[in-house]
Structure formats: structure tokens, C-alpha cells
Structure 1
Amino acid sequence: MFHRRRPPHAPARRTSLRTLLTALGAALLLPLAMLTALAAPAHAAGTLTATFTTQDNGSWWKGTYVVHNSGPAAVSGWSLEFDLPAGVSVTGHYNGDATVSGRHVSVKNAFYNATVPAGGSTEPYSYWFIANGPIGAPTGCTVNGDKCDGSPDVPPTAPGAPRATAVTAHSVALSWAAAQGGDHAVASYEVLSGSATVATATTTSATVTGLTPATGYTFTVRAKDTRGNAGPASAPLTVRTVDPASDPTPPTTPGSLRATGTTSSSVGLAWDKSSDNVAVAAYDVYRGGALVRTVGADTTTATVDGLSPATAYTFTVKARDTADNASPASNAVTATTDDVAGAGKQLKVGYFAQWGIYGRQYFVKNLDTSGAAAKLDVVNYAFENLDPANLTCQAGVTKGVSANPQDPDEGTGAGDADADYARPMSADQSVDGVADDGWGKLRGNLNQLKKLKAKYPKLKVVVSLGGWTYSKFFSDAAATAASREKFVKSCVDVWIKGDLPVYNGAGGPGTAAGIFDGIDIDWEWPGSEGHPGNHYGAQDKANLTALLAEFRKQLDALGGAHRLLTAFTPADPAKISAGWDLSRIFDSLDYANVQGYDFHGAGSDNSWEPKRTGDGSNLYADAQDPYPFHFSVEDAVKVYLDAGANPRKLTVGFPFYGRGWQGVTDGGAAGEWQDANGAAPGQFDTEAGVRGYNNLITSFPAMTVRHDEQSVSTYGYTGPGGQWWTFDDAWSIGKKTAWIKSKGLLGGFVWEMSGDTPDGRLMTALNDGLK
């Protein structure tokens, strides 16, 4: 039975990419080898300075910055920023990678002058530019953020004296006049009580909470600039919190609470104002029994965000006066958030296999040229691994998997930083036709995904963690509250904030920021057997629920646009029961990608179902199915719906590949459910029994293709004693997408995009069916 032996993501795909990577020519690998000597940026702040000189060459002049290191250790990595004098234009840059915006110039070191030795400088390879216009020194020069002349930063001025704008029994609201920036702009303010920071703000107001009633407090405010320099404190303000005994009367109940609008992650609310014998101080918004928002007394609207799509929420509002007396709760109002796709629309998700750039020669560019990118809503970039020692999100390593799919350590510590962000893509492999320069901080697939998103602004990209080969340590990472928090933080730091480890000159803090719009969890499988050697136990079910909640919490805490949190979930009812609490996981998930393929198959090691053929992605259970277990898309989805899952949180999987057997007898059924003699030869030597759709139809142009109307399945047979393949084509995709729409499901997803024809025949069928 497949679901206990082999998942939809065959490990041999990773093995083949390592073999092919080794075979790549030296011309491709040479730029990477040259970069291995570069160390991670670890400069000591304040040890670098920069001096500027000019040289008049008649019709143009030369400006040169020499970077000096006065410290006791070498500095690896430097950057310059400066403003050109008025009337000066620059026509060329040397020994540095420069960006010009108006008069402002930003320069990064070249790969060969990145290291500034202790007591040395960048000579003889210092950055210089060709300029036209009046000769003069630039202004505002910084090197690695410090002033080029080595003088200390001038901090912001003191803000104006704070004043109390609202005082209650437990809080004081303050405002103040803005501070003036010194060498750098003001970024934030700190409110101090004595020497303790009691509130922070990015504007000129803040509320200090958690105070003791009827107690005097003295506050000052100071500004901090973008580099963290703190200015002097303001004049002090002394204020006394309200004595509750002075006002025992609560405000009146807020009236007519109503929902004013929804998105997939928020609900807007409005209500009629309350009155009070002294004054209303604030309104508190509750979701169920939990306080989720507080707004001021002059505001009778609020937006509650951080919500899950396609989910009903109930809200109430209470007014609160200055003595912190709370009114009775308003009427309750229930609102349902929108789903991710939008009313009347279906979501289309496609997995892009990281290693497809090798044997498959399928690049991010092919998503564009095939027409798929214009049809997809979300691209899942698969897969990234877990660090086996630290139990964190792993990046920055290139280590292949073993060639044995039964090896318990097949994927332990494996990864492909080259494919992710270090491999320079050529012009003909690039989305925009521009080759990677070989020393940029972001190259490879991630740079191409960045370019693809620029071309298709509505396209979302999420990073998929785990998969069949990389799920070994999920159980350990999810085991405790502390391990979950650590693991999730590492994933957010690496994949959402983009803090890639430095590898072969690529990576560094923030280099991948903005590429990924969320995280996809492909844990195969919590609570039950997956790949040989995977860690699992009965505790996984509760721990997975808690892990998803921690992901949702940390993703929402980032602020800004809503980040997607999705999961690949099984079709096998036993695996669902063992690992997936369907009553709780959708509180965190935006949607689940429900497995709709690999119901039957023969793996490359013939350990799965080598002796009998079987449908791999049938919509309905086949009446002729002789197996003791019967899988179908309909039966898989029914488990989720019967458990109360919102259908608009479910997508169904479509295979863009086929699974095959050889030595297949006819039995009067054209090979369906008949005896076989193992997996058929695959598209790649290490992947017996698997061929991408395009490879399948071009390898067997004379294959007889049949469509089973009863089960809605497609299969092909090459004749008695030959090969039998189960796969999806435009016919079955059309039938299944019609069923998805009839059930009100969210949409469909694809494993994986490289199997399609160059002109995107299957993706077109999926898109047409889900319109």
C-alpha cells in the first residue's frame, strides 16, 4: 500500500540531480570555486574609514575612495554610500558594484577586493568612478554605515516634553513634539520611567500600560535613529493614575455592533458610541473571550486582522472609562473571512522542484514560457530541509542524498544551496534574459523567482519544508514549546526575512527578503511511518497542531501583508487520523493541499506494489479494484469534509507524471488491475516507474490511451506483456476540476510543474477547468 511505503515525492529525484551536478562543466563551476574563499561578513563596526581623492582628466574627472582598516583583524565585506555634488553625473564604476539613484550612490565591494586586511586598505583595487561636471568631494559618505572620516555619529535631539492625553487607573497616554535627526533619521522613541523603558513607538505618541491605580509616575522620552543611536531625554512629566474609588459607574453598552467588511485575514467592525458620567477612555474588542484590539474613545471602528481564511469569528465590544470600569458587552456579531482565492474563484497551486534544473532542464523561466505562471496563483518551491543537529530550518549547504531510497539517513543534512541561490543562471536560463554575474549575493532559483514575481505581481511563492526525504526530524523540532518556537523563528529568519547563510559568495542578511510569501509544511507523516528512519510517535498529532499555531503566530507578528501558511496532507484515512487534528489545524492553515495521486504505484526499489497495476489518481473508487483498500479523490476529500473542514480550505492534487509497470498481462482489461513484473523503466535511471507526462507521451506515441468513465481515470497500455501507465490527461483533469467546483472546494494543485508539455497542455486544462 503506497501510503505506508512511498509518498508522492520520490527521493530518487534528489539523487539524480547530484549526479548531474557533478557532470557540469568546469566553465560553470569556476566562478563558484573562485568565490569559496570569501568569508561571511563579520566586520567590526568603526574600524573602517574611507578617504576620497580626485584626478582631473580634462573632459572628465576621476573620483576614488580608498577604504582603510585600522582594526586588529581583517574585515570581509564593505559598502559605501555617498551623495554626489550638484551638477555631477557618473558614467562608469570600477572595482565595485554601484547603484545610482539621483545623486545618491551605493557601492558594494567586488568579489576580489572584499577583504580589507588589518592595518591595510583596498589598494591597489579601490573603488573609483568617472564623473562629468564640477570637481568636488561627495557628501554624507559612510562605509559599512559608519562615517567615512571615523568621527562618531551625531544622535537625534531631545523630543519635546511629553504631555498626558489620557489617564486611566492603569494607563497613561502620552504625546510629544518630534525630535530632530542628527546624522541619521529618527526611527523610534522610547518612553522611560526612571531608567526603565516602559513603552516604545515609531510615532510621537505612546500608551504606558500595566500601571498601579492612584499612583504618581514620572516619564521622559528619548529618540533613537536608524543606527540605534539614542539622543538625550526630554523634559520630564509627572502624572498620577486615576483612583477607581472616585468613579464606580461604568459606561453604557456600545450599540449596534456590525461587520463592515472582510478580507481573507481580517474583519472590519463598527459600533455606536457609549457614554459615561466622567469620560469613556477606550473600547475593547473581543473575539470570543479574548481581547484582540483596543481603540481610543474617539474611535468607534476597528479592524481585527491575523485571522484565518474561510473561518467564522464572533466579536463583541466593551467600553471602558478612566477608572477602568468596563461596560456590559455589546451584541455579538459573527463574520466569516473570505477564502484565499476570492468569491467564485478557484486557486491554482504548482510545485516547482528545486532539482528540476538538472536532469529535467526545467527552470523557473519555463513557468513563464509555458504560460503556467500566468495561470498559477501560488508556486510552492520544494523542498528545504531541517538541520539534524540544531532542529532549525537548514540552508546554505550542498550535500546530496544517498542513492538508496531505503537508507534511513538518505536525506539527513542534505540540501542544495547551489540550486537555491548560488548557481549563476545563464541568459537563456533567466526569466528576463539577463545572466547572473557570478558574484551577486542572490543567484540561482531564488533570484529567478524574484524576477518571475516582478513579471507577475499577483503570483505568490511559498517555500515548502520537508517532503518525503526531508521529513525525518519534524517530530523532534515540534516536540516542545521551546523547540517549536526555535524552529519556527529560524524558518522565518531564513525564508521570510531572507537571512540566507553566506555560501560561495552569495547570501547574507536580507538577501532573499520578499521572495517568499509564506511557508508550506510537507511533513510526511506525523504520527505514522513515512520514509525509512523518520522519527514519529503518537505525540505528533498534538505537536503538529501546536507547531502550526506557532508558525501562524510568528508569521502574523511580522506585520504587513498576510503570509500564507499551508500544508500537504494525506489521502489515507489512517494517516489523517494519526497525525492531523482536522478540528484544529485549520485555525492556523490558510488551506491544505490534499493528496490526490500515488494511490497505487511501483517504486524504483520495487518495494511498493510491483506485482499488480492500479490507478494512481482516480476521482471515484473503481468497482473493479481488487486491492483490499480502495483509494480515490472523492474518498480522500470526504474524510476532511465529514470532519467539518471548510471546503474552501481544501485543494486537490493533480499529478503531472505517470506511474508504470512492465510485464503486464491483459486479462481482458487492457492491463488495468492486472499482474505485472515490477516497475517500468522510468524517465531517469534512478526513478523506475515514474515519467513526466510529456516524457511519457513522447516516449510511447503508439500507446493505447483509455478513459475509465466510472472511476474517472486515464491509463495507457503498450500491449500484452508490455508496459501499463496510470496518469492524468486533459480529459481526466476536466472531469476532476468540474467535480472540485461542484463540491465548492478551493481549487487544485500540481506535483510537479516540470512534467507538463513545453506549451503547458496540462496546466491549460487545469486552468480552463477551474475558471
Structure 2
Amino acid sequence: MRRSMLGRLAVAACSLSLLTAFAPATAVGADSADSGAGRSYKKIGYFTQWGVYGRDFQVQDLEANGSAGKLTHINYAFGNVSAEGTCFTGNIPGEADAWADYARPLDAANSVDGVADTWDQPLAGNFNQLKELKAKHPGLKVLISLGGWSWSTHFSDAALTPASRKAFVASCIDLYIKGNLPQDGTRGGAGAAAGVFDGIDLDWEWPGSAGDTDTPYRPEDKRNFTELVKEFRTQLDAYARTQKRGTKYELTAFVPTAPAKIDAGFDVRRIMRDLDFVNLQGYDFHVSGEPRTAQQSALYARGDFSVHGTVEAWKRRGAPAHKLVMGMPFYGQGWTGVTGGGDGLGQPATGPAPATWAAGYEDYKALQKLADSGAYQVHRDRRGGHAWLFDGTTLWTYDDPQVLRAKTGYVREHGLGGAMFWSLDADTADGELVTAVDRGLRGR
């Protein structure tokens, strides 16, 4: 489910000879004559369903740390697809969590509006808090993200035929857009979640190529994904016409870096007609499971995966720049047992670094403390636009505010649609990274 798994597939997906060459250093963070001033950029943060538990990151924290007013979109991660090819929810360990979504009561201290949930209100949990957040920030949109790494298992089957696609899309619109939730005690019911979600984000990882170990894929996925996108667009627009004048539901997708994965699963010109925008994988270019340390999210890289390479790959295949949103990591990939001297990058390691939640994967807020501790030295590749921490034994590659300034400069210079980040619960208590992205896109 975490994004940290993506790089394992990205690295194996195609040879380095297919990747874009290193771009001029002068482009990093530079502002062109058209700086993008006055443009409205998308600022999209993923809110994780499970973050309300161990991390104790609530929707209300986005209001408390000032991030809510700086975002244009929140993607709620994730909605699952059943073996029958429908969107569903429930209380099924590892498969669905209706308790977190809409049944869990919040007290006044953890509620966006400062009022405790009552036992008999039909909508509680994260969904109700997102609705309250939107009430405070009327321009904010919330999308349900379907799939992700762990929950893409049944996408290929759901998209297989015209009938299965039609039923799949109808079920997702019924559950999330119409808000017809299963009854869970006093929670849920017809229309209980109406108005929470403003669209759907497709996180199928990956059509036409390997994803998680239990996720099947087929050669025809590329065609079927195109038709699935079209079906979502058709049904969303049809339902919008039944609502108040001017209603529009957004349709987006999370898409990969590797050219081989793009070509296997995405008819770029056709899907971009129906998608409002796509969120580009801008991280996990290398991951802590690899035997050598490496960058995970460089803006530029010679003979390697990079953000610039990803942007160019999608543009060459027909994607308009303004529909490309750059993905940025709010976490780092880490290795320990690093030998070979120097600054640690590109050196052999014994394995993933110890971390708070999962070995080799650490939130930015924890890495910031390491950087401030003095035990680690911050290294920067200013030509490549990336940074890492190294203490002589353990290395973490990550994005900090300085890196994000370079990346937002690139977004503005190249006319991209904005920035997306995984995930909001990894930021600092004062929303340091969201603030850096917001200021960067404003040219400040």
C-alpha cells in the first residue's frame, strides 16, 4: 500500500539505455521569463486511511498545521476493488476499514469543527472530518484514490469487459460520489457520504506490467485501461448533469516513471483526453532493498531515472504539460552498513536502515531531526537536484525544502500542472514541506 514499493518495479522495468540523458544544471530551480505568476497550480496531498492509528495523524491536523489552506486537493488513500470487480468497504482486516472511513467517532479536540461526534449521526470518521474541512475551505477538493500498491489486485479483472467496466464504475460512483455507504450500526446508509468526494483517482499499479506479487496483469490491460478511463468519464459526467448546474467531477490517475511500464499500460494520447490530470511517480527511483545506495527522487540524473526523465517520457507520448503533476516524496529511502567511503552515495550496503515504521522507509519529520542532530551530514547534488543524509554508516535519500524549491521552480518553468506529495502524515507538525511547495509554486 505504501508508495515505497514502487521503485522495485521501476528499476527492473527497463534498461538504462531507454532513460533520458542528464539535463543542463541551469534548469534546476531557475525561473524563465514566464515564471507562472498568477497561474493556479494544483497542490495535492495523499491522506492515508491508516495514518489515524499509529501515526495519530487526523484530518484536523491539516487545519492545525496550516496545510489545509495551502492545498487544492486531498487524495484519500485508498479505496479497494473486490474480487467481484466492484468498489466496496467494510471492516475486513487488510482489505477495508469502514471504522476509520466513516464509523469511528471523533472527540471535540480531534474534530475540524471543534464539536464531538454524536452516537447517532450517519457519517463520522475520516469522511465526516474531510467534509468539515471542505466546509472551512470551499475551494478544496477531495478525491477517492482507488487501488494503490496493495489494493490493485482486482483491477485487471474489473476492467476486462465492457460489462465489467460498466458495473465497476457504477459501483464506485454509487459508494463514493453518491455516498451510499453500507449500514454500520447507526453509521452509513443512503447518501450518508454525499458531498465528501469530488472525483476519483485511479491508482492501478500497473496495467500491462508487474505490480505487487498478487496483482495479475494482461497484455490487453492497456486497451482496457483506456476504456475504463472513458467509462469513468462518461458515468461521472452523466451523474454530474443530474446535480446542480456547474457540477464537475474530476478524474485523475497515478502513473509510472519507467518507459517500459508506460508503453505496456498507457495509451497516453487517448487517456489524457478523459483525465483531468495525472500524478507522475517522482520517487522510489531506487529503494532500500537494493544492494547499493542511490538517489530515490532526483530532478535530473545521467543515465538513471529522474523527475525530468519522467516528465519528458510522458510529453513525448502526447501528454500536455499542464496535465502533468509532479510527484514529490515526504519520506526517505535508507540503507545501513554502507562501506566504500566518500559521501556514501553509490556504495554497497548491508540492507535497509532501521526506521520508525518499516525498515528503509522513514518520514521526513524524523529525517529532519537527524539532519538537525549533527550526527548526519547533509549532502547535495546541485546539478541533479537531490539530497541525502550520511553518518558514515547509514544513508537516507530524501527531499527537503531546498530540494522542493528546485522542483517547484521546474514545475513553473516547464508549465506543469502542479505538485503531488506522498504523504501528508510524514510532514512536520508545522507543515514545513507543504509550505515549501506552496511558496515555491507562488514564486516566493
- TM-score scaled by length of structure 2: 0.89
- 1:598 correspondence with 2:284: yes
- What pairs with 1:225-264 in structure 2 (closer than 5 Å)? none
Equivalent position to 1:696, from 367, 377, 380: 367
8 Å CA contact 1:7–1:524 kept in 2: the answer is no
User: Cα deviations across residues 229-267 of structure 1 (Å, max 9, x unaligned)?
Assistant: xxxxxxxxxxxxxxxxxxxxxxxxxxxxxxxxxxxxxxx
Q: Paired residue for 2:295?
A: 615
SS at 1:463 equivalent: strand
8 Å CA contact 1:367–1:373 kept in 2: the answer is yes
Q: Distance in 1 between matches of 2:6 and 2:329?
A: 16
Q: Paired residue for 1:190?
A: none
Distance change (3 Å), C-alpha of 1:354 and 1:6: farther
Equivalent position to 1:728, from 399, 403, 420: 399
- 1:709 correspondence with 2:376: no
8 Å CA contact 1:7–1:468 kept in 2: the answer is no
- 1:373 correspondence with 2:71: no
- 1:398 correspondence with 2:111: no
Q: Paired residue for 2:424?
A: 753
Q: Distance in 2 between matches of 1:415 and 1:2?
A: 20
8 Å CA contact 1:705–1:716 kept in 2: the answer is yes
Q: Distance in 2 between matches of 1:2 and 1:676?
A: 19
Q: Distance in 2 between matches of 1:660 and 1:509?
A: 46
8 Å CA contact 2:6–2:149 kept in 1: the answer is no
8 Å CA contact 1:2–1:600 kept in 2: the answer is no
- What pairs with 1:342-491 in structure 2 (closer than 5 Å)? 344-388=39-83, 390-395=84-89, 397-401=90-94, 414-491=95-172
Equivalent position to 2:304, from 614, 621, 630: 630
One-letter identity of the residue aligned with 1:744 = G
One-letter identity of the residue aligned with 2:323 = K
Percent identical residues: 48
Q: Distance in 2 between matches of 1:631 and 1:400?
A: 35
Distance change (3 Å), C-alpha of 1:585 and 1:342: farther
Q: CA deviation at 1:699?
A: 4.7
Q: Distance in 1 between matches of 2:264 and 2:287?
A: 23
User: Cα deviations across residues 116-146 of structure 1 (Å, max 9, x unaligned)?
Assistant: xxxxxxxxxxxxxxxxxxxxxxxxxxxxxxx
User: Cα deviations across residues 511-545 of structure 1 (Å, max 9, x unaligned)?
Assistant: 00011000000000000000002111100000000
8 Å CA contact 1:598–1:617 kept in 2: the answer is yes
Runs of 4+ in structure 1 deviating by more than 6 angstroms, as ranges, are none
Q: Paired residue for 2:215?
A: 534
Q: Distance in 1 between matches of 2:204 and 2:37?
A: 27
Pick the structure with greater CA Rg: 1
Q: Paired residue for 2:258?
A: 572
Q: Paired residue for 2:331?
A: 657
- TM-score scaled by length of structure 1: 0.52
Larger helix fraction of residues: 2
Q: Distance in 2 between matches of 1:659 and 1:517?
A: 32
Q: Paired residue for 2:271?
A: 585
Distance change (3 Å), C-alpha of 1:2 and 1:456: closer
Distance change (3 Å), C-alpha of 1:345 and 1:426: same
8 Å CA contact 2:252–2:275 kept in 1: the answer is yes
Larger strand fraction of residues: 1
Q: CA deviation at 1:504?
A: 3.3
Equivalent position to 2:344, from 671, 675, 678: 671
Q: Distance in 1 between matches of 2:39 and 2:271?
A: 24
SS at 1:737 equivalent: helix
8 Å CA contact 1:423–1:444 kept in 2: the answer is yes
Q: Distance in 2 between matches of 1:600 and 1:455?
A: 39
- 1:681 correspondence with 2:354: yes
Q: Distance in 2 between matches of 1:632 and 1:441?
A: 46
8 Å CA contact 1:421–1:507 kept in 2: the answer is yes
Q: CA deviation at 1:5?
A: 3.4
One-letter identity of the residue aligned with 1:671 = G
Q: Distance in 1 between matches of 2:118 and 2:103?
A: 11
Q: CA deviation at 1:656?
A: 0.5
8 Å CA contact 2:47–2:77 kept in 1: the answer is yes
One-letter identity of the residue aligned with 1:621 = A
> For structure 1, which runs of at least 5 residues remain unmatched after alignment?
9-340, 402-413, 603-607, 623-628
Q: Distance in 2 between matches of 1:3 and 1:750?
A: 14
User: Cα deviations across residues 623-656 of structure 1 (Å, max 9, x unaligned)?
Assistant: xxxxxx6100000110111112110101000101
Q: Paired residue for 2:414?
A: 743
> For structure 2, which runs of at least 5 residues remain unmatched after alignment?
12-35
Tell me the matched-pair count: 408
Instruction: After superposing the two structures, state which structure 1 stretch, 702-711 or 648-657, moved more.
Output: 702-711
Q: Distance in 2 between matches of 1:343 and 1:731?
A: 23
Q: Distance in 1 between matches of 2:37 and 2:150?
A: 34
SS at 1:435 equivalent: coil
SS at 1:557 equivalent: helix
Higher RCO structure, 1 or 2 (CA under 8 Å, sep 6+): 2
SS at 2:394 equivalent: strand
User: Cα deviations across residues 557-610 of structure 1 (Å, max 9, x unaligned)?
Assistant: 0114110000000011111010011110011100000010011112xxxxx41x
Q: Paired residue for 2:178?
A: 497
Q: CA deviation at 1:342?
A: 11
One-letter identity of the residue aligned with 1:709 = R
Q: Distance in 2 between matches of 1:612 and 1:438?
A: 53
Q: CA deviation at 1:437?
A: 1.4
User: Cα deviations across residues 181-220 of structure 1 (Å, max 9, x unaligned)?
Assistant: xxxxxxxxxxxxxxxxxxxxxxxxxxxxxxxxxxxxxxxx
Q: CA deviation at 1:463?
A: 0.3
Q: CA deviation at 1:344?
A: 2.1
One-letter identity of the residue aligned with 2:422 = W
User: Cα deviations across residues 662-682 of structure 1 (Å, max 9, x unaligned)?
Assistant: 1112432x1111110110012
8 Å CA contact 2:7–2:284 kept in 1: the answer is no
User: Cα deviations across residues 265-304 of structure 1 (Å, max 9, x unaligned)?
Assistant: xxxxxxxxxxxxxxxxxxxxxxxxxxxxxxxxxxxxxxxx
